[in-house]
């Protein structure tokens, strides 16, 4: 049991690092996109979320939250795939610059975080069946300017879910560390009982 917990801690710590790196990469990507499209930092995009997953409910337990996070990240990756393909079709000059490289980094990092999250779900429930497909096809605007704003929203969405991942994983790490202390106390008390 202790070994399993220890392994879980290792996975969580690793996932936190990946999520933090994703958030960092995403902030760079947003900056590069704003620079590329001459968007000001206060560019207004629709407030509504592109990813339809509710994670903030207090009634969700850790495992549920992981599942929600996993689902959200899978949607984020689908959004990024769509955003990249539409950009390539409509807005690309055929050159591969810093922006395009960073875009790929973020996409790969999202995939990695998905894998990490799946690993954590499996570590909590080995019978969990994990899939990484998105149910419906992503729809995006056809007008170019709207498409640009939508791409920006996608990146903001990834940024948001990177932050959510960090907070979720940190909370999970806290939960994992508590039973360890309890377990130690429990062992000590049992020894005491034996002495008696």
Partner 1 sequence: MTQVPSLKILCIFSPVCTVNAYRNKNKTFFITDIVDTMTRLLTVMVLFSQVFATRVTADKPGAPQCEPQNMLLSNVSRELLVTWEVHASCASLRDQLIYELVVLVEDKPVHQEEFAVMADHIGSSHSWSWMSFLPLECASHSVQIRSRYTNQTGPWTTGTLPGLEPSAEIQVYPQDHVFEVGSRATFCCIVPLGKTFSTMFLSNYRDAPSNMSMVNNHTYALTVDLLWPTLVSDADVKCKAQMDEGGSCAIVGYPPSDTDLQCETRDFQSVQCFWTVGPQIFSDPTTYWLLEKSCNGQPKGKCSQKVKVNNGERNWTLIARNVLGSIELVDEADLTKRVYMYAPAHMTVSAVSARNVTIAWTWTVQQYNLLNLTCQINLYDGTTNIQIEMCDIGLQSVVLNGLIPNWSYSAKVQCATETDFWKWSEWSKSISFHTKGDIPDALDVWMHNVNHQTLIIWKLLEDHQSHGHIIDYEVTWTDLAKAEQENKICVVHPTHSIALNLSTFQKYIVKVTARNTYGSSDPSQIFISSQSQDPEMITSRINGTGGGFSLSWAANVTASCGYIVDWYPVSGNSSEWLKVPPSNTSATIYSKNFKDGVRYILSVYICTEEAPVLLEKREGYVKEQRIPDNMFNNLRWQQHASDVTISWDQISLKEQSAHIYGYVLYCIDESTVLRVTTDDPEATSLTAAKLKMYSYTFTVHALTSEGECGLTTINANLSIQTDDLVSAIIISLVTAFTLVLLITVVCYRSWACIKQKIYPPIPEPVLTGKWLSPKGVVPYCPKEELPVAVPKLHSLPRMSNDGYICQRDQLITSTKIPELDLPLKKNILQTSSLTSTRLNIPSVWVGNSGEYYPV
Interface residues toward partner 1, by CB under 8 A: 36-38, 43-44, 89-93, 95, 142-145, 148
Closest distance of CB 137 from partner 1, Å: 16
| Six token digits for residue 138 | 């992503």
Inter-residue contact 173 to 13 (CB < 8 Å)? yes
In whole angstroms, give the CA distance from residue 87 to residue 147: 8
HSE toward the beta carbon, residue 9, CA cutoff 13 A? 13
Q: Which is nearer to partner 1, 36 or 163 (CB)?
A: 36
Q: Which helix (H) or strand (E) element contains residue 145?
A: helix 144-195
Minimal distance in Å, beta carbon 159 to partner 1? 20
- Our CB check for partner 1 shows the closer of 90 and 125 to be 90
**Nearer to partner 1 among residue 120 and residue 147 (C-beta):** 147
Work out how close the CB of 71 gets to partner 1 at its nearest, in angstroms, rounded to a whole number.
Answer: 30
Work out how close the CB of 125 gets to partner 1 at its nearest, in angstroms, rounded to a whole number: 45
Tokens of 136: 């419906």
Place of tokens 């959200």: 72
Angle at 15 between CA 131 and CA 117, to 5 degrees: 15
Nearer to partner 1 among residue 97 and residue 174 (C-beta): 97
């Amino acid at each position: 049991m202790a070994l399993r917990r220890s392994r879980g801690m290792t996975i969580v710590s690793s996932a936190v690092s990946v999520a933090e790196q994703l958030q960092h990469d995403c902030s760079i990507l947003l900056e590069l996109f704003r620079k590329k499209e001459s968007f000001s930092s206060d560019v207004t995009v629709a407030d509504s979320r592109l990813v339809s997953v509710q994670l903030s409910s207090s009634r969700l337990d850790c495992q549920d939250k992981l599942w929600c996070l996993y689902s959200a990240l899978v949607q984020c990756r689908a959004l990024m795939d769509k955003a990249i393909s539409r950009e390539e079709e409509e807005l690309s000059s055929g050159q591969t610059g810093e922006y395009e490289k960073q875009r790929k980094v973020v996409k790969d990092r999202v995939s990695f975080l998905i894998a990490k999250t799946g690993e954590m779900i499996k570590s909590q429930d080995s019978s969990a069946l994990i899939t990484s497909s998105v149910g419906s096809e992503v729809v995006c605007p056809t007008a170019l300017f709207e498409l640009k704003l939508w791409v920006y929203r996608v990146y903001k969405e990834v940024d948001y879910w990177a932050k959510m991942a960090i907070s979720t994983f940190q909370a999970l790490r806290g939960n994992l560390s508590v039973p360890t202390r309890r377990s130690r106390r429990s062992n000590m008390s049992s020894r005491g009982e034996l002495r008696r």
